[in-house]
A and B are shown apart, each in its own frame.
Chain A
C-alpha cells in the first residue's frame, strides 16, 4: 500500500496544573494516498490534536512515536516547510483563517510565501479560485461573503499551494445547509477528480457517508476503523462513545427494533427510502 501519512506509536500529552493529560495514546494509523478518510469522535476525543500531528503543527511527545509524511519525519525541523506544503489544513472558523482584505490577495498569501514568481502565483490563485467556484468574487472583500463562501476562499488559499493532502477540521460546523453542501461537494471533487488525499474531521454523520473509510476516535484511541457502512451498522459502539448514527440509519434501526424485517445498512436518503420501500412492499423509486 502507498501510504502518504504514517502514524506510528504516537502519544501526545501535556501538563495541566501539574497533572499529565494524555490526549493521544499510543496510536497507529496509516492514511493511504488518494483516499478519503473521515475521523469521527466526541468533543475532547483528540480529533483536532491528531489532525495537527498529521502536518507537524504538533509533534509526538513520546520518544519512540513518529509521524511520517511522504516518508519525512515531522520531528525533522528542516523539513517543516516541505511537510506543510504537502499537507494543507483548513479549520472550523473561516473568519480566523482569512488575512487579507481582498479575496485574491488572501488566496495569494500561501503561494507568495512559497517563493513563487508573481506570474506563477497569479496562475495558482486563479486556478484555485476557479476550483472552488469563487473566481468571480476575486475582487470582493472576504467579510462581505457568506460563511460557505468564506470557507471556500480559505480552502482555495490552501489549494493554491497544491498540497497532496487536505486535512479539514470541522470545516462545516459554522455553515448553513447550503454552505455545508458547497464545501462538501468541493472536497469530494478534489478527491475523486484530482486524487487529492482527504482527511475530514467532523461531527456530521451524514458527511461521513461520502468517505472511503471512517476512523472512530475515543479518548485518544482508535476504537473502530472501517467503511462508513461497517461503522454505522455498529450502533452500540457509536452510542457508547457519545456519537449518533445518521438519522437515516437510526430510522431503519428503530423500525427493525419495532419488529419490521428491514436491512439497516443504508446511510443516504436514497438507500434508506429503498430499504423502507422494500420492507413495506412499496414501489421503489
Chain B
C-alpha cells in the first residue's frame, strides 16, 4: 500500500523565545498509509500540536519535509491552500469557532471557500450530514442553540464537508459527556468508511484510542518514541507510564489480577475483548 503522508526528519523549534523548548519537535519520521486511523498520544507539551500543524502546512518545517501522496507540500508554496483542503484540521474545541447564523451556513463555509456553489454546495453539505447523522431539521437552527455535543459535531462536519483525504482531529472528544464521545467517535469512523479517508487523532483518552486507532504514534519531549499498532504500544505499559501516559483501565485491572495469577493475559486493551476473554476463562480452561 502507498503512503499518503510521509514525514521525514522533521524538526521545528519556536524561535524568538528560547524558553519555549517544550513544544519543539526533533527529527521525527514516519509514514501513514491510506485509510488508516492513527492516534497520536503524548503528555502535554510533547509536541503533538506542533506536529499536526506541519501536516497541513500551518507550520513550515525548520528542517525535514512533509510529503502528501509522495509530493513535498512546500514544493510550491503558492499551492499550500490546496493542501489545507486535502488535509483537514479540526482544532481543539472547534465549536468555539462556529460563527454563521445557521447550521447549514456554517457547514457550507469550507466547501464555499473551495469554490462550490448552488446545488453542488447543497449536495455536498447534505451528503456529509447524512454520513455523520446531522438531521435536516437542524439546518436552519442557529449553531448557538445547540447542545455542546451537537455544536462539536457541526464544527467537525464543517471540516469534513471539504472532503479532506486526510482528516486530523486534535482532542475531538475532550470535554464531551459519554454520549457526545460515542457520537463523535462514530462520525469519525463513518467518514473514514464512506470516503476511504485517512484519519489522525490526538487524544489523552487511552480507552478511546484502544478502540479507535489502528496504529499509535507516541511522542515524548518532542521525539517520536514509538510508532506501532495499538496492540504493541499498549503492551509496553511500563514505558508509557514513564512518560506520563497510561494503559487503558481494563488492562490495569488484568495486570493487577496477573500479579498473583501469572497465566492471566495482560495484552487486552478494550472493554469488549476483556469481557470476551474473562467469559471464556470462566467457562473453562485458563488457556482460553
Interface residues of A (CB under 8 A from B): 16-17, 41-44, 92, 141, 144, 146-148, 170, 173-179, 203, 205-206, 242-244, 246-248, 250-251, 254-255, 258-260, 269-270, 272-273, 276-277, 279-280, 282-285
Tell me the complex Cα distance, A184–B9, Å.
Answer: 38
Please name all residues of chain B whose beta carbon is closer than 8 Å to the beta carbon of A173 when the two chains form the complex. 174-175
For B35-74 the 0/1 string (1 means CB < 8 A from A) is 0000000111100000000000000000000000000000
5 contacts between A and B (CB under 8 A): A17-B142, A43-B176, A44-B147, A243-B179, A254-B271
Bound-state Cα–Cα, A259 to B178, Å: 26
Given A92-B175, A282-B264, residue A178 in contact with residue B244 (CB < 8 A): yes
Report the separation of the CA atoms of residues A141 and B22 in the bound assembly, to the nearest whole angstrom: 13
How many angstroms between the C-alpha atoms of A173 and B149 in the bound complex? 14
Looking at A92, A177, A260, A280, which has the most chain B CB atoms within 10 Å of its CB? A177
Binding-face segment, B117-125, B131-139, B155-163, B248-256 = B248-256
Question: Looking at the complex, which one of B43, B174, B179, B274 makes contact with A178 (CB distance below 8 Å)?
Answer: B43
> Once the chains are docked, how many angstroms separate the CA of A142 from the CA of B184?
32
Taking a contact as CB atoms under 8 Å apart, the answer to whether B261 and A141 are in contact is no
**For residues 1 through 58 of chain B, which have their beta carbon under 8 Å from a beta carbon of chain A?**
19-20, 22, 42-45
B235-273 interface code vs A (CB 8 A; 1 in, 0 out):
000000000111011101110110111001000000100
B100 to chain A, nearest CB (A): 16
State whether A177 touches B250 (Cβ < 8 A).
no
B204 touches A43 (CB 8 A): no
Could you tell me if B253 and A148 are in contact, using CB atoms closer than 8 angstroms? Answer: no
Greatest chain A CB density within 10 A among B145, B176, B244 is at B244
In the complex, A170→B174 CA distance in Å? 11
Are A269 and B252 also in contact (CB < 8 A) when A144-B20, A146-B44, A178-B244 are?
yes
Contact status of A242 and B22, CB under 8 A, knowing A176-B204, A251-B274: no
CB-based contact B275/A203 at 8 Å = no
Q: In the assembly, what is the distance between CA of A43 and CA of B206, in Å?
A: 21
Most buried by A among B149, B180, B253: B253
B256 touches A273 (CB 8 A): yes
Task: Please give me the residue from chain B that is nearest to A16 by CB atom.
Answer: B145
- CB pair B282 A260 closer than 8 Å: yes
- Nearest CB in chain B to that of A254: its residue: B275
Are B275 and A270 touching (Cβ within 8 A)?
Answer: no
Q: CB < 8 Å: which of A41, A179, A251 contacts B275?
A: A251
Contacts of B19 in A (CB 8 A): 141, 144
Contact B179 A174 (CB under 8 A): no
Cα(A255)–Cα(B257), bound, Å: 16
Range class of the B interface residue count: 35 or more
- Judged by a CB distance under 8 angstroms, whether B186 is at the interface is no
Contact yes or no, B278 A43, CB < 8 A: no
Q: Judge whether B282 and A279 touch: CB under 8 Å.
A: yes
Residues of chain B within 8 A of A285, CB atoms compared = 256-257, 259-260
A147 to B204, CA, bound (A): 12
Complex: how many Å from CA A273 to CA B285? 19
The closest CB in chain A to the CB of B254 belongs to A273
Given A43-B149, A242-B179, A273-B253, A284 contacting B174 (CB threshold 8 A): no
User: Which residues of chain B from 136 to 182 have any CB-CB distance to chain A below 8 Å in the complex?
Assistant: 142, 145, 147-149, 171, 174-180
CB pair B44 A175 closer than 8 Å: yes
A174 touches B256 (CB 8 A): no
With A174-B175, A243-B178: A258-B279 Cβ-Cβ less than 8 Å: yes
Q: Given A175-B44, A176-B43, A177-B206, do A283 and B261 touch, yes or no (CB 8 Å)? A: yes
A203→B177 contact, CB < 8 A: yes
A270 touches B278 (CB 8 A): no
A269, B204: Cβ atoms closer than 8 Å: no
Q: How far is the CB of B272 from chain A (nearest CB, A)?
A: 9
Q: Are A203 and B260 in contact (CB under 8 A)?
A: no
Q: Is the CB of A148 within 8 A of B20?
A: no
Whether B249 pairs with A176 at a CB distance below 8 angstroms is no
Q: Give Cα A16–Cα B20 distance, bound, in whole angstroms.
A: 43
Q: How far is the CA of A260 from the CA of B274 in the complex (A)?
A: 14
15 additional A-B residue pairs with CB within 8 Å, beyond A242-B180, A276-B278: A42-B179, A43-B147, A43-B176, A173-B175, A175-B44, A176-B44, A203-B175, A247-B249, A247-B250, A251-B275, A255-B278, A255-B282, A273-B254, A273-B256, A285-B259
- Bound-state CA distance A283–B262 (Å) is 10
Contact A248 B249 (CB under 8 A): yes
Q: Whole-angstrom distance between the alpha carbons of A5 and B176 in the complex?
A: 28
In the assembled complex, B207 has its CB within 8 A of some CB on chain A: yes
**B225 interface contact, C-beta 8 A:** no
